[in-house]
Amino acid sequence: MARKTWSSAKPPLRNILIGATVIGSAILLKKGINTAYERATGNVPPTSPNSTASWRKVLLWSAATGAVLGVTKTLIQSKAEQGAQKLLSDR
């Protein structure tokens, strides 16, 4: 019987593992960023402009968290692919 290669070894399972890892990590990171902001400033992060948060603060906060989450997602996806490959590979 031919040995399965990484490219043919259960792609749906691999995709599910990678996707779940990236989504879970992003959720935890977002909660961590919000908690760090609250501890540093004593206020909740600005998510929509209102009487206490200006458009400038909301846009800056959104850009900063988006950049951090984007870079982190890329790094986590790379590591998750390596982990899934190791987990699903035949030895």
Closest by Cα among 25, 26, 30 to 45: 30
Q: How far is CA 86 from the centre of its chain?
A: 21
Return all residues near 91 (Cβ < 8 A) that are at least 6 apart: none
Residue 10, pLDDT score: 58
**Three-state DSSP state, 56:** helix
- The pTM assigned to this predicted structure is 0.70
Residue 80, pLDDT score: 86
Q: What are the structure tokens assigned to 19, written together?
A: 């996707």
Helical pair 55-88 and 11-41, crossing angle rounded to 10 deg: 140
For each successive 10 residues of the chain (91 residues), what is the average pLDDT? 53 84 92 94 86 85 93 90 80 50
